Amino acid sequence: MSDHLAAGAVATPHTDATAAAHQAFADGGNAIDAALAAAAMLTVVYPNQCSIGGDAIAMVGTPDGHVEVVNGSGRSAMSLDPADYVGPDGFVPVSGAKSVTVPGLLSTWEALADRWGRRSLGDAIRPAAAAAAAGVAVAPGVHRDLVRERALLAQDDGARHVFFPGGTLLGDGQTMHLPRLAESLTALAERGTAEFYHGAIGASVIDTLRGLGSDLTTDDLRQHLPTVENPCSTTFDGAEYLSSGGNSQGTFFLQGLSALDIVARRLGRIPDPIGEDASIVARILTRTAADRDRLLGDPDNAAVPVTELLSDDATEALAEFGLGERAPAAAAQSRTYARRSGDTVAIVTADTEGNWVSLIQSAFHAFGSCVLDPTTGILLHNRGASFSLEPASANQLGPGRRPPHTLMPVLVRQDGNLVGAHGTMGGRAQPQVHTHLALNLALGMTPAEATARPRWIVGQMEAGAAAPDEPSTISMERGVPAPAVFDLNDAGFHLKMLQTLDDSVGHLQVVRRGPVDDSFLVGSDPRSDGLTQQGELS
């Protein structure tokens, strides 16, 4: 890696995170350092969507065009008995200590910094620690989720202390004080992630969880390691799209994109998702979502048949299905969540040296498990709620298993050169949100235009497919043009109208190679509290 300073671009869902990334560039960091600085800041300003008690999956591309995935998603307790995890509704609990798996986010950060960063991980964490110590303003999106989840948060001592100061729920724009989290972040910056996986911070978290019924132990933390994996890929509109496989749903985004590439050749044009081709896109996305729900789980238990799904025969059949005339009857899912998914934050960065990053991190549902360790200030995710208790399920709950994961970073290559980093929140609808973006970009839009354009998704953000009581339902933002509305209605889809720029259709973040050397085009979804930044540093 060269010694000169990198010019860089970044898009995140929050202005403070974007500023932290830009400062990392200014301090001599590369795209990896900038992404980590933004990621750390987001755990402070967006506790509804991510936490150092959550998971992360990232994809890094280097100047030679090589791409690798860092999958830090954690596992269930090695000692658990699935019979002890049957909630009142017959499913794994969606909140509380039993919904928590080993938090893998910090291990992902460490791997990124060690393998590709120019600065230390501590350098990325310190600004976030300072922000937590000073207190941060409650963002509009955080406040919306505080209101939605107030009942669950009020039941937990740690969460109540942070989010109900003086007994009153924090309001939009009020200062959120996070002194315990600041202490934990400072300790991690000074002494490394071993403080969590082998030290006092992790021990405190485990004590809190076990006191609330979890089977997780400090041994589970000590045994956790991220994996570095090869991405999956497909070609669309002459570009190579890459995403994460394994227990990540990225494969199913690529499955749909492969079919849409065939559709584009058949039609002689790029299908417009909010034009006369809307029903074609919707049929394909309905099928890929059903495949995801049927097949995705820990590959050590039930590997996703990636080669089969992306084969010529399978994608040709999927394209034919999309070109049919009627909405499919959606397969019943194993579960529909009552809680809304705050899910995820996406950070995308690039620098003029040729490094590209898509980093996705998560609490899963809004505020995760709604359990906050009062000693460390760390909020725990609820990724274990994704497990099934059905014996034949690909994502059956068992000891030491990774849950099926919504997190799916995306990078794009053209002629062997990296040209794009994409990311979004959106729960199990993330593949659909990414598909809208890919189609919009292929239609000639800039990243800013593509992210702001109205969208729809099949089903709901959390479901990401039609729920059993909502066969073939489209959740659609106001502003989708009439031709798409008519086409979807005529095809037999049921339309559920959302507000304009609705959170339910995801928060896209995009960096693309610009038209001249060392330039970038950036887009941050107006549905988020975000900001893009690009700069040239000397």
How do the domains of the chain map onto residue ranges?
1-72+102-138+231-367+407-538
Low-confidence ranges of the chain (pLDDT < 70): 1-6, 329-343, 460-471, 530-538
Q: What pLDDT is attached to residue 328? A: 72
pLDDT in tens, 254-269: 999 999 999 999 999 9
Query: Which residues, including other chains, have CB under 8 Å from residue 435's CB and lie 6 or more apart?
Result: 253, 256, 257, 260, 273, 281, 285
Q: Which residues contact 280 (CB under 8 A, 6 or more apart)?
A: 263, 271, 322, 323
- Calpha distance 380→52 (Å, rounded): 8
| pLDDT the model gives residue 460 | 61
Alpha-carbon distance of 274 to 262, in angstroms, equals: 19
What the block records as the tokens of 203 is: 């021990």
State the pLDDT at residue 428.
Answer: 87
Mean pLDDT for the chain overall: 93
> At residue 441, what are phi and psi to the nearest 5 degrees?
-65, -40
The CA distance from 154 to 32, in Å, is: 37
CATH of 1-72+102-138+231-367+407-538, one of 3.30.365.10, 3.40.50.2000, 3.30.310.10, 3.60.20.40: 3.60.20.40
240 phi and psi angles, rounded to 5 deg: -95, 120
- Please name the residue that has the structure tokens 């889809």: 493
Nearest 5°: CA angle at 508, between 503 and 514? 155
86 class by beta-carbon count within 10 Å (0-12 exposed, 13-18 middle, 19+ buried): middle
Task: Give residue 489's pLDDT.
Answer: 95
Contact 258, 313 (CB under 8 A): no
pLDDT score, position 343? 67
d(CA 75, CA 151): 28
Provide the whole-model pTM.
0.94
Q: pLDDT value at position 39?
A: 99
User: pLDDT value at position 477?
Assistant: 97
